[in-house]
Amino acid sequence: MPFAPKFSATTDNIRMALAEDAFYRTMQVSANNNLELLNAYLDYSMQEAQQYGALITSDDPNQGAAIWSLPTNTQQGELKSQAKKDFLLNQMGENSLTTYQTISGFMDQQSEHVINEETWYLSILGVNPKLQGRGLGQQLLTPTLELADQQGKACYLETFTPRNMSFYARLGFVAKHQAYEPTCRHHYWIMVRQPQSN
């Protein structure tokens, strides 16, 4: 079944925001530098978050989005994993599927010593580069962070971009682990935010 995008007005902006990110550069290369396929991957990630996690978008689709993965039960987790595999294979190709599985397998091994299965995962935060520095990133993250605080849930993220770490630190994330991801050939950091009370 052909993939049907729902967020085309937003994915261009997210892709541009992630242009320097080693993971997305690697995925782009795995898809023969086809930007339409990378946009499809981001669109799929937004649809996946709608179904299994949390998707926060701006009123203006040109601004950006925050894409969260939240804990699922075993059946949901299996359905989510298989759907992602099918998307990557059928839409982006076997090379992209293999690349994704290799990177995510490595990163999962690294994170299992830092977080638990109940931790909420900030998968993607992307803000239109022309609009960065105006507080939009914090606006996109605040609703889910406040909900996590209310429910007493920790959150985490992975970033390949050191200059982003000070932004996340202001929101309560703390760098807990650094690793070198061999497929992307780049260091990245796992940052964790414990639930906070007002």
Tens digit of each residue's pLDDT (9 = 90 or more) over 138-197: 999 999 999 999 999 999 999 999 999 999 999 999 999 999 999 999 999 999 999 998
pLDDT greater than 90 at residue 62: no
pLDDT (mean) for 89-106: 97
Contact 67, 123 (CB under 8 A): yes
Tens digit of each residue's pLDDT (9 = 90 or more) over 65-92: 999 999 999 999 999 999 999 999 999 9
Q: Which amino acid is at 16?
A: M
Contact 124, 14 (CB under 8 A): yes
Closest CA to 67 of 116, 101, 117, 18: 18
pLDDT (mean) for 92-103: 97
Q: Cβ atoms within 10 A of the Cβ of 193, count?
A: 23
Q: What's residue 81's pLDDT?
A: 96
Q: What's residue 85's pLDDT?
A: 97
Q: Distance between CA 133 and CA 114 in Å, rounded?
A: 30
Choosing among 2.60.120.620, 3.40.630.30, 2.40.50.140, 1.10.3720.10, the CATH entry for 8-193 is: 3.40.630.30
pLDDT band at 198, cuts 50/70/90? low
Q: Distance between CA 6 and CA 39 in Å, rounded?
A: 11
pLDDT greater than 70 at residue 1: no
SS3 of the chain: the string is CCCCCCCHHHHHHHHHHCCCCHHHHHHHHHCCCCHHHHHHHHHHHHHHHHHHEEEEECCCCCCEEEEEECCCCHHHHHHHHHHHHHHHHHHHCHHHHHHHHHHHHHHHHHHCCCCCCCCEEEEEEEECHHHCCCCHHHHHHHHHHHHHHHHCCCEEEEECCHHHHHHHHHCCCEEEEEEEECCCCEEEEEEEECCCCC
Q: What's residue 131's pLDDT?
A: 85
Q: Distance between CA 170 and CA 132 in Å, rounded?
A: 16
Tens digit of each residue's pLDDT (9 = 90 or more) over 23-56: 999 999 999 999 999 999 999 999 999 999 999 9
Tens digit of each residue's pLDDT (9 = 90 or more) over 104-144: 999 999 999 899 999 999 999 999 998 888 899 999 999 99
The whole model's pTM is what? Answer: 0.95
